[in-house]
Amino acid sequence: MTRNVLVIGLGLIGGSLALALQKSPETKVIGYDISEKTRELAEALNVVHEVAEDVEEAAKKADFIFFGTPVNATLEWMDQLKQWQLKKNVIISDTGSTKGLIMKKAEELREQRITFIGGHPMAGSHKSGIAAAKPYLFENAYYILTPFDDEDGNNIIALQQLLKFTLAKIVKIKAEEHDHMTAVVSHFPHIVAASLVHQLHEENKKFPMTSMLAAGGFRDITRIASSNPMIWRDITLQNRNELVGQLDAWIDEMHRVKKILLENDDKTIEAYFQKAKEVRDALPISTGAFYTTYDLYVDIPDYPGVISEITGYLAEEKISITNIRVVETREDVFGILVISFQNEKDREKAMKCIRSHTNFEMHVS
């Protein structure tokens, strides 16, 4: 029997989820987005099997409903659906970056015997919109669920069985703990990234060459400042308390750094960076704690067409890549081509393929 999955909000995350869930057998994925352009694209790009023009009608027939909307819009939808005639066993979930207020709102649904299990795939990027959606976006990433403590286990299992088509690693966490931890590793870093960009903007007025000198390090640390401001407005508003806590801790830390600088003691300064390096190097990033990529570093010579030559070899063998970039300490100089793959197998196939055509040196991170 075909089951109906409705995804409301078809941007980067909702679109990627819809694409992943299409891999589930006997499942019809129906989508809705407030933007007409996105609805048109959803159809044109086959992100869903069908676009719903009347979302309430689609919700009535749904076995699962997911929200891929900004978190404040999710709260509004949750209020609305209290008035709808839903299927008795429908399971509702979301993908929002915050969980506290959403699970609070879910208590109201629960009073009406509507099942809601909070969800948050810990993968994504600074990109937004349906055009950036990818079926494998969540592969190997953690996918957090925040069910009520006494949620019926069968409902959690049913949701997990559907979500396994994302190929993500599903974990269960309490909503409050979720909001604390994501403030540390995701939400607060966004504020830091934005503040560094604001600082550059001010400095650039006095020294207009500054932004031209912004090399790899500045770009790496501020990449997320290019994210969708509306998404981050809502996250910041919903996780305000945790963010104020993180900000206080950061201000204390900056006072500590200032003291170290004023003391002008080389050993303490080196120890500060040494400790940070040790903690950073030990992060389980490459084993899938957060955003797993399988990077291949190729030392390329500087001749025209070398990148398309390499991607051409990979395309011939149908090896798909998820990202490609050139890195160097100076960004205007050719050097190392970094190609990212979805998994280890693809990276190995790519190494073999490039080796069979070239003598370029390669290494993995």
Ligand X SMILES: O=C(O)C(=O)Cc1ccc(O)cc1
Q: Which residues bind ligand X (CB under 6 A)?
A: 97, 122, 124-126, 186, 224
**Between 52 and 310, CB nearer to ligand NAI:** 52
**Between 125 and 226, CB nearer to ligand NAI:** 125
**Between 52 and 86, CB nearer to ligand NAI:** 52
Which of the listed partners (ligand X, ligand NAI, none) does 243 bind, with a CB threshold of 5 to 8 Å by partner kind? none
Which of the listed partners (ligand X, ligand NAI, none) does 246 bind, with a CB threshold of 5 to 8 Å by partner kind? none
Contacts with ligand NAI by CB under 6 A lie at 8-14, 33-35, 38, 68-71, 73, 95-97, 120-121, 124-125, 128-130, 228, 231, 235
Residue 125 C-beta: closest distance to ligand NAI, Å: 5
Residue 15 C-beta: closest distance to ligand NAI, Å: 7
Which of the listed partners (ligand X, ligand NAI, none) does 31 bind, with a CB threshold of 5 to 8 Å by partner kind? none
Residue 365 C-beta: closest distance to ligand X, Å: 17
Which of the listed partners (ligand X, ligand NAI, none) does 224 bind, with a CB threshold of 5 to 8 Å by partner kind? ligand X
Residue 13 C-beta: closest distance to ligand X, Å: 8
- Per-residue H/E/C for the chain: CCEEEEEECCCHHHHHHHHHHCCCCCEEEEEECCCHHHHHHHHHCCCCCEECCCHHHHHHHCCEEEECCCHHHHHHHHHHHCCCCCCCCCEEEECCCCCHHHHHHHHHHHHCCCEEEEEEECCCCCCCCHHHCCCCCCCCCEEEEECCCCCCHHHHHHHHHHHHHHCCEEEECCHHHHHHHHHHHHHHHHHHHHHHHHHHHHHHHHCCCHHHHCCHHHHHHHHHHHCCHHHHHHHHHHCHHHHHHHHHHHHHHHHHHHHHHHHCCHHHHHHHHHHHHHHHHCCHHHHCCCCCCEEEEEECCCCCCHHHHHHHHHHHCCCCEEEEEEECCCCCCCCEEEEEECCHHHHHHHHHHHHHHCCCCEEEC
Which of the listed partners (ligand NAI, ligand X, none) does 70 bind, with a CB threshold of 5 to 8 Å by partner kind? ligand NAI
**Between 69 and 97, CB nearer to ligand X:** 97
**Between 38 and 246, CB nearer to ligand NAI:** 38
Which of the listed partners (ligand NAI, ligand X, none) does 186 bind, with a CB threshold of 5 to 8 Å by partner kind? ligand X
